Amino acid sequence: MTAPAVPAPPPASTGEMSRIPTGWKTRRNAELGLLAFAMTIVAVFGATVEAHQFDEIRMTSWIPAALVGILFLGLHVVVRYTAPFADPVLLPAVALINGIGVGFLRRLDLARAIAQKQPEPGIFAGTGGRQLAWTLASLILAAILLLVIRDHKVVSRYAYTLGLIGIVLVMIPAVLPSSISEVNGAKLWIRFGSFSIQPGEFAKIALVSFFAYYLVRKREVLSLASRRFLGIDFPRGRDLGPVVTVWLLSLLVLVFEKDLGTALLYFGLFVVTLYVATERASWLIIGLVLFFGGVYLAYLLGASIGGPFANFYDRAEVWLDPFSRANYERESGSSYQLVQGLLGLGTGGLFGAGPGAGSPGKVPEVRTDFIFAGLGEEIGLFGLTALLVLYLLIVERGLRAALAVHDSFGKLVAGGLAFTLGLQVFVILGGITGLIPLTGQTTPFLSAGGSSLMANWLLVAMLLRISDAARQPVAGLGRERSGPKKAPVQLHGAMTEVIKP
């Protein structure tokens, strides 16, 4: 556990240091240094890919790495002026994963171009090029968020609106005809020609904000005004109503959209924010029982009546024995993809074949869902472990911001977002490695896809914003925060409405 229990102690608490912010460390230069280190790795990755694909390292190999480097540097500058106290590790860690993702997608483009004897795609062409463009868009969005929202508590003002937006975003693909909303069997998309977005990705942040606001307001009620049943405290229905409604709606919609991975994410998000807000472990137990009960029920239903549950049943069967010939060769829902991913990972072994030297093209959907398996063949167990540690670092830094920030709303938002990110990584990587049944999910910051990248960068911007609030000196509103702007500091802190039962 890396997140320390104690938030960074503000030196301001000692009278001697109250002259801040001169002695206060913003750690922005550390961020810059880490960013430079991350970009060096991305550049070396790109060069190694070229060495393996073309048998030579050309001068142009530096261009993609340099471009992503410049983009991240731009965000770093924005952070420097809008969130000077933000956690210095978050941005470089995310940038490294994002940069590797762009590099790996470009590597797949190069391999395809070579195999088809076509000219190499331009810097902004192909999946890797598009991902580079999406990175630019994402960073602009993140910068806008940091520039516009100077205090995360402002968000709570729009909590109900955000909740509504979240629901609508999740629902849109479900109500649209399949022809413009379905990709590979999952109705999660809005497609206009070759352009498509996954609105549900953005719903995460909106829903977290809504959950956080609502739970903070009702916190006392939820923890105190409860009925005891079977030794577990249940809150009154009217207190929990809106949250359960929102959650049930999103879940129902997701069932119609045939995407269980996302449903699982929202479920986890809901349970964790509820748990953190109420501090009652009983919610975890109820949540887990409900979840595993539901999964088992769906499995049984899939085995007996099939219908909408058949897909789930197939996936469970495939998960239990991917290498059986029956599962490998079945017509639909075969374990082919899972097996090819596992074989790729196994072939990579401890050290991997080296960037550009494997055959990730053998794994279906290696650009999106299975990018981790494709990457694993080339960077091996050691590389993947490093990636896992990076993800863990991001999640724990997010949780650390949640621990350190003083207002409950910020705690819930940061905690909820960080946990969801961690859970998403677990769901997709666990699926690819056969640890849990496979559900279609993007690997955050790595998979090809603009919606996921933008939404997750917004999430990071939110974490940066909250960590900035968590780490800034208490007394000092600093240079950047000068001005008459009065933040609604107390609104969602400890002084919540307490309705006596």
Partner 1 sequence: MNAPLRRSGVVILVLFGLLFANLNWIQFYKADEYRTHEYNSRVTVAEYETPRGVIEAGGTALAQNKTTDDELKYLRTYPEGKIYAPVLGYKPVIGGATGIESAENDFLSGASDKLFGDRLSSMFTGDNPGGGNVVLSLSTKAQEVAWKQMTNNQRGVTKGAAVAIDPSTGAVQAMVSMPSYDPNPLVSHDTEAAAKAYQKLANDDDDPLINRATGATLPPGSVFKVIVSAAALQNGYKTSSEIEAGSSYKEGGATIRNSEEEVCPGSQVTLKEALTESCNTGFARLGVALGADKVKDTAKAFGFEDDTLKVGDLDSKTGLTVAASKTGDIANPDGSTDTAALAQSSLGQRDVRMTPMQGALMAATVANGGRQMRPYLVQKLLGPDRRTIYTAEAEKLRDPISSDVAGDLQDMMVSVVENGTGKRAQINGFTVGGKTGTAQNAEGADPHGWFIGFAFDSSGKAVSAVCVMLENVPGGHASAEAARIAGLIMKAAAGQGGD
Does residue 285 touch partner 1 according to CB under 8 A?
Answer: no
Element (H, E) at 312: helix 310-320
Residue 48 or residue 451: which is nearer to partner 1 going by CB? 48
Residue 59 or residue 115: which is nearer to partner 1 going by CB? 115
CB of 116 to partner 1, least distance (A): 10
The piece of 30-38, 226-234, 254-262, 379-387 that touches partner 1 (CB under 8 A) is 379-387
- Cβ(50)–Cβ(80) under 8 Å? no
CB of 381 to partner 1, least distance (A): 4
Residue 188 or residue 373: which is nearer to partner 1 going by CB? 373
Tokens representing 475 are 């007394």
For partner 1, the binding residue among 13, 178, 385, 490 (CB under 8 A) is 385
User: Which spans in 88-227 are helix H?
Assistant: 90-115, 126-148, 159-175, 178-181, 199-217, 219-224
Give CA–CA dist 408/95, Å, rounded: 29
For partner 1, the binding residue among 69, 380, 440, 449 (CB under 8 A) is 380
At residue 52, what is the residue type?
A: H
CB of 218 to partner 1, least distance (A): 14
CB of 199 to partner 1, least distance (A): 26
- The verdict on whether omega for the bond into residue 9 sits within 30 degrees of 0, i.e. cis, is no
The piece of 70-78, 237-245, 398-406, 478-486 that touches partner 1 (CB under 8 A) is 398-406
Residue 189 or residue 426: which is nearer to partner 1 going by CB? 426
CB of 260 to partner 1, least distance (A): 17
Q: 183 φ, ψ to 5°? A: -130, 125
Instruction: Fill in the per-residue mask, 433 to 472: x = in contact with partner 1 (CB under 8 A), - = not in contact.
Output: xxx-------------------------------------
Does residue 319 touch partner 1 according to CB under 8 A?
Answer: no
Residue 277 or residue 458: which is nearer to partner 1 going by CB? 277
Does residue 288 touch partner 1 according to CB under 8 A?
Answer: no
Cβ neighbors of 360 (< 8 A, separation 6 or more) are 104, 108, 111, 344, 366, 373, 374, 375, 377, 378
List binders of partner 1 among 327-346 (CB under 8 A). 328, 339-340, 342-346
- Cβ(23)–Cβ(81) under 8 Å? no
Tokens representing 214 are 């609502």
Give CA–CA dist 317/324, Å, rounded: 10
Does residue 90 touch partner 1 according to CB under 8 A?
Answer: no
List binders of partner 1 among 247-276 (CB under 8 A). 272, 275-276
Give which of 378, 460, 434 is closest to 105, Cα–Cα. Answer: 378
Cβ neighbors of 82 (< 8 A, separation 6 or more) are 146, 147, 150, 480
Give which of 105, 102, 35 is closest to 70, Cα–Cα. Answer: 35
Does residue 376 touch partner 1 according to CB under 8 A?
Answer: yes
CB of 138 to partner 1, least distance (A): 23
Tokens representing 338 are 């899972």
- Cβ(372)–Cβ(379) under 8 Å? no
For partner 1, the binding residue among 408, 441, 442, 472 (CB under 8 A) is 408
Give CA–CA dist 256/245, Å, rounded: 17
Residue numbers of the site for partner 1 (CB under 8 A)? 1, 3, 5, 55, 272, 275-277, 279, 281, 323, 328, 339-340, 342-350, 358-359, 362, 376-377, 380-381, 384-385, 388, 391-392, 395-396, 399, 402-403, 408, 411-412, 415, 418-419, 422-423, 425-426, 429-430, 433-435
